[in-house]
């Protein structure tokens, strides 16, 4: 489902070229749950951003659902994210002016794939029933992240990409949120790639990949 070949990415920082990714190769099968670990600055988030089409690679290929991400235009990459991917960030990135219900349904609605039954199931499984009319600022970190996960899965994506989804949460909440995510990923059958610093959480997924100095270790 996802195939990454010889991926390179260099940034310019303080007048110097810094090679963040130096030829990454990665395969993720449908329904597979993979943890991407590595120390700070190893290129984990960069790799995730490139797969999501949020940034462009300098070299190599990313093939997702038989499409080469690098060949897509801005609109094509937007379509890919909208219809095929679910994204979850450490900072939740909810829309502050929409309530929980609208935040949850947002991506599915703009993708034209809003399914009320699936929406209701997500609400129930994520335990958001009593919070639907609240706004993000009125929620705790764990609640906000549950909404973000629900929004990402509402489109039934091919692949769920999560960048440190539990980074802002305490240990118990993090465990709870990740357990919910695993259940829902299993329910939808989508692939799951999660960036994390926590070896404990990484161990709960099917496979672990360690990124070191821009290369898969």
Partner 1 sequence: MSRIIWILAVLLSHWRRHPMQLATLLIGLISATALWSGVQALNQQARSSYDRAAAAFGGARTPMLAGKDGAAFPQRLFTDLRRAGWPVSPVVEGRLQIGGRSFRLLGIEPVTLPAEIGNAPAIGKGNSQAFIAPPGQTLAAPETLSELHEPEGASLLASNGASLPPLHVQPQLAPGVLVVDIGVAQRLLNMPDRISRLLVGPAKEPRLPLETVAGDRLRLVAADAESDLERLTDSFHLNLTAFGLLSFFVGLFIVNSAIGLAFEQRLPMLRTLRACGVSACLLNAVLLLELVTLALAAGIIGLVCGYLIAGSLLPDVAASLRGLYGAEIPGQLTLKPQWWIAGLAISILGALAAAAASLTKAARLPILVAAQPQAWQQQQRRWLVIQCGVALVVLIAAGGCLWFGDSLLSGFAVLAALLLGAALALPALLELALSLGQRSARDALVAWCWADSRQQLSGLSLALMALLLALAVNVGVGTMVETFSRTFITWLDGRLAADVYINASDDARANEIRAWLGQRPEVQAILPGGRAETEINGAPVEILGLPDHATYRDHWPLLRSANNAWVRLRPGDTGFVSEQLARRLNLAIGDHIDMPAPGGNWTLEIVGIYADYGNPKGQVAVNFAALTRRFPNIPRTRLGLRVAPGEIPALMSALQGKFGLDGRNLIDQATLKADSTRIFNRTFAVTTALNSFTLGIAGVALLTSLLTLSNSRLPQLAPLWAIGITRRQLASIEVLKTMSVALITTLLALPLGLLVAWCLIAVVNVKAFGWRLPFDVFPLQLLELVGVAMLAALLAALIPALKLSRMQPANLVKVFANER
Binding site for partner 1 (CB under 8 A): 49, 52, 54-55, 74-75, 78-83, 85, 87, 89, 93-98, 102, 106-107, 109-112, 135, 151, 168
8 Å CB contact between 96 and 135: yes
Output 109 or 197, the one with its CB closest to partner 1.
109
The nearest distance, CB 81 to partner 1, in angstroms, is 4
Output 80 or 185, the one with its CB closest to partner 1.
80
The nearest distance, CB 111 to partner 1, in angstroms, is 7
Half-sphere exposure of 46 (CA within 13 A, CB side): 26
Reported as type and span, the H/E element at residue 22 is strand 16-28
Alpha helices in the chain (DSSP H): 44-51, 74-84, 100-110, 116-126, 141-153, 171-188, 199-202
The nearest distance, CB 208 to partner 1, in angstroms, is 25
The partner residues of 11 in beta bridges, in order of sequence, read 18
Output 107 or 196, the one with its CB closest to partner 1.
107
The nearest distance, CB 155 to partner 1, in angstroms, is 8
The nearest distance, CB 147 to partner 1, in angstroms, is 12
38: left (phi over 0), alpha (psi -120 to 50) or beta: left
Q: How far apart are CA 34 and CA 25, in angstroms?
A: 14
Q: What totals of helices (H) and strands (E) does the chain contain, helices first? A: 7, 10
The nearest distance, CB 68 to partner 1, in angstroms, is 18
Output 30 or 95, the one with its CB closest to partner 1.
95
Residues 6+ apart with CB under 8 A from 51: 2, 4, 62, 64, 69, 159, 161, 193
Output 55 or 121, the one with its CB closest to partner 1.
55
Taking CA atoms, 32 is separated from 55, 158, 164, 191, 208, in Å, by 24, 11, 18, 5, 11
Output 75 or 172, the one with its CB closest to partner 1.
75
């Amino acid at each position: 489902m996802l195939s990454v070949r010889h991926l390179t990415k260099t940034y310019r920082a303080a007048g110097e070229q810094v090679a963040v990714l130096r030829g990454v190769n990665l395969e993720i099968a449908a329904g597979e749950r993979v943890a991407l670990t590595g120390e700070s600055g190893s290129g984990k988030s960069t790799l995730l951003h490139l797969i999501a089409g949020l940034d462009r690679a300098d070299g190599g290929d990313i093939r997702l659902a038989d499409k080469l991400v690098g060949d897509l235009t801005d609109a094509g990459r937007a379509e890919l994210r909208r219809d095929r991917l679910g994204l979850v960030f450490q900072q939740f990135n909810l829309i502050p002016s929409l309530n929980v219900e609208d935040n949850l349904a947002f991506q599915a609605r703009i993708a034209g794939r809003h399914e009320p039954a699936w929406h209701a199931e997500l609400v129930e499984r994520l335990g958001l029933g009593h919070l639907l009319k609240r706004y993000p600022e009125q929620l705790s970190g764990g609640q906000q992240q549950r909404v973000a996960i629900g929004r990402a899965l509402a489109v039934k994506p091919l692949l769920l990409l999560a960048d440190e989804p539990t980074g802002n949460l305490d240990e118990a909440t993090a465990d709870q949120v990740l357990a919910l995510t695993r259940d829902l990923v299993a329910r939808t059958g989508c692939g799951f790639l999660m960036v994390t610093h926590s070896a404990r959480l990484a161990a709960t997924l099917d496979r672990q990949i360690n990124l070191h100095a821009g290369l898969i270790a």
